[in-house]
């Protein structure tokens, strides 16, 4: 297994719509294992394949809460098939380090996809898991959480990001 490099904003791969996975073979299983290891080491609660430079429709999530039995969730070719309600969560992202902002999302989602063993999976979730699923599926569509924040928050982000880039050059 490997600890993969996480692509950060404004890397163009983060804006690509990820391609469908046509077969869950040994190479895809290895990628999934590497993604999970990378997510845990980051540390994060979710990671989409395009965040590590592989524009494929694969995500891993582990919200790492003691009261949550799910553990590691692997979804290949996930899609939201149902959604309701509205909630606001403060989100951050491994690809947009050191920036957090409130994001409006659906309160509950139902997501379908396949697990690592090509078994069909359907998850209905609310709370943090629903937010994480939506966040990671957004990545697979080439969207970042900063695309979902209001104009004032986006302006704050742009100013902070420009300052961060200036500070890195010094």
Query: For residues 131 and 140, what is the distance between their CA atoms, to the nearest angstrom?
Result: 15
Q: Is 136 an active-site residue?
A: yes
Burial of 38-60, coded b for 16+ CB within 10 Å and e otherwise, reads: bbbebebbbbbbbbbebbbbbbb
The kind and range of the H/E element at 87 are: strand 87-93
Spot the catalytic one: 20, 108, 136, 141. Answer: 136
User: By CB neighbour count within 10 A (0-12 exposed, 13-18 middle, 19+ buried), where does 166 fall?
Assistant: exposed
Residues with catalytic roles: 136
């Amino acid at each position: 297994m490997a600890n993969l490099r996480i692509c950060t904003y404004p890397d163009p791969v983060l804006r690509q719509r990820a391609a469908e996975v046509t077969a869950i073979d040994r190479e895809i299983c290895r990628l999934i294992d590497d993604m999970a290891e990378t997510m845990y080491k980051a540390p994060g609660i979710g990671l989409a394949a395009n965040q590590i430079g592989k524009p494929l429709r694969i995500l891993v999530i582990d919200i790492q809460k003691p009261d949550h039995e799910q553990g590691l969730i692997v979804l290949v070719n996930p899609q939201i098939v149902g959604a309701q309600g509205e909630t606001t969560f403060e989100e951050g992202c491994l690809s947009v380090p050191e920036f957090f902002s409130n994001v409006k999302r659906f309160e509950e989602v139902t997501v379908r996809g396949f697990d690592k063993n090509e078994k069909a999976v359907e998850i209905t979730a609310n709370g943090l898991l629903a937010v994480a699923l939506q966040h990671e599926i957004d990545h697979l569509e080439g969207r970042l959480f900063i695309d979902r924040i209001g104009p004032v928050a986006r302006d704050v982000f742009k100013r902070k990001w420009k300052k961060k880039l200036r500070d890195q050059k010094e």
